Copies of this chain bind each other. A is one copy, B any other.
Amino acid sequence: MSRPLAPGAPEVATDHPDAPQTDLSPIAGAVAEADAAGFVAVGDRFDDDLRYLSRFGGPDRAYAVVVTPDRAALTAPALFDEQAQREFVHGAPEDGLAREIRTARQGDPAGVRAAAALDDLASSAGSTVLTPASIPHDAALYLENAGYELESTTVVADARRQKTAAELDCLRRVQAVTCRGMARAEAVLAAAEPDGDDLLFEGDPLTTERLRREVEAEIARHGVRGAGNTVVGAGPTAADLHYTGVDHIAPGETVLLDISPRGPHGYYGDLTRTFAVDSDGGWERRAFVAVEQAHETALEHVEAGVTAGTVHEEAAAELTAHGFRIDSDEVGLTHGVGHGVGVSLHERPSLRAETPLEPGNVVTIEPGVYDPEIGGVRIEDLVAVTENGFERLASYPVRFTPVSPE
């Protein structure tokens, strides 16, 4: 029982690739280089570093990943042992690290269990432990009480910048499903009919919430979840970057959909399009033309070696040339033109950074202009940086007037 989609959405396979596995050798290498006893990360299933390091999907209380130069351990509740074996141990890559699940000391806090694991696994006499700076304070204190000295490291965030082929597969797949969500929203908009100040769809005034639900039901049918991130604004609420409320959609105003769902292995898609139904031009049309041009200009500059911030600057210059402001928090371009995407929706690199883009970076390209009195226009694609340019992870047409299903 499929629902009509606007033309141009990619075909998607019905299954998802297997979960990618994480090469922990950069972490082990950092431990060896620092002559440290090990690396420790502590968090729950909602901590994206833990998700990346372990590929483990539960529980919602804290657990730990411990890495030494030649071994890696995950502390899990006994109830999760089978799942942890499946997700952390089996199918692990050939990074030379022996992996194990430790279910000992159930009931002890994660920091205590991490310290016990370190005591067992560390071959070095070093007392330094590398941790992310945001490790929970109680875990840090338990490690210090066990005689370890903490040193913060950015090795996980650094490793996450470079997507592997398996990670790119996950991102492509999620972005393709994201496009289908957009195609469902566009089909609804194309079918909506102006009726005074409203658009009617299936007899009712069309709202941002109805569009959001149509998108989320469509992507759920393909094994991807809304993740609470589907932003749909109309007219003035399209100028609110994080609008998730219920707003009636009027003819002519900008309808902005920013869809950033999460796939089964934790990778996000991110796609924004802006439409107007029955527009008579004006600010909406001028903004669309400017943003479409800024989007193309920004993409032309995406390439390994280019300073990330250049992409932002080029898009901003294009918007300025079209007469839009770039110096305000409220009007014109009010945000950065892009950010990294992976197991976090926002991660490195930012397109305002001074660092060069590298092959394997995955970033959004999303210029936009806003006027809180009128509306907002943003166009966003998700791209992987390559040696000579970029790969768009999935393609969706850029159209101002929504098009009906073929």
Contact = CB atoms under 8 A, between A and B. Distances in A.
Given A3-B1, A136-B134, A344-B60, A220 B228 contact: no
Interface in A1-53: 1, 3, 15, 46-47
A241 B227 CA distance: 22
Interface in A256-272: 262, 264
A253 B105 CA distance: 35
Contact of A137 (B58, B131, B223): B131
A225 interface: yes
A246 interface: yes
Contact of A222 (B61, B213, B246, B262): B213
A307 interface: no
A140 interface: yes
A315 interface: no
Contacts of A1: 1, 3
B135 A242 contact: no
A220 B217 contact: yes
Copies in the complex: 2
A62 B228 CA distance: 18
Interface residues on A, range: 35 or more
A333 interface: no
A243 B57 CA distance: 10
Given A80-B242, A137-B133, A138-B152, A213 B209 contact: no
Nearest to A83: B242
A139 B138 CA distance: 12
In this complex, the member of A131, A241, A242 whose beta carbon has the largest number of chain B beta carbons within 10 angstroms is A242
A144 to B, nearest CB: 10
Contact of A134 (B62, B82, B244): B62
A390 to B, nearest CB: 24
A150 B46 CA distance: 25
Contact of A226 (B60, B140, B220, B344): B220
Interface in A202-231: 209, 212-213, 216-223, 225-228
Nearest to A239: B82
A334 interface: yes
A247 to B, nearest CB: 13
Interface of A: 1, 3, 15, 46-47, 57-62, 78-80, 82-83, 131, 133-140, 150, 152, 209, 212-213, 216-223, 225-228, 240-244, 246, 262, 264, 329, 334-335, 344-346
Given A1-B3, A57-B244, 5 more contacts: A1-B1, A57-B228, A78-B329, A209-B223, A217-B218
10 contacts: A46-B46, A79-B329, A80-B242, A83-B242, A134-B137, A135-B137, A136-B136, A213-B221, A213-B222, A217-B217
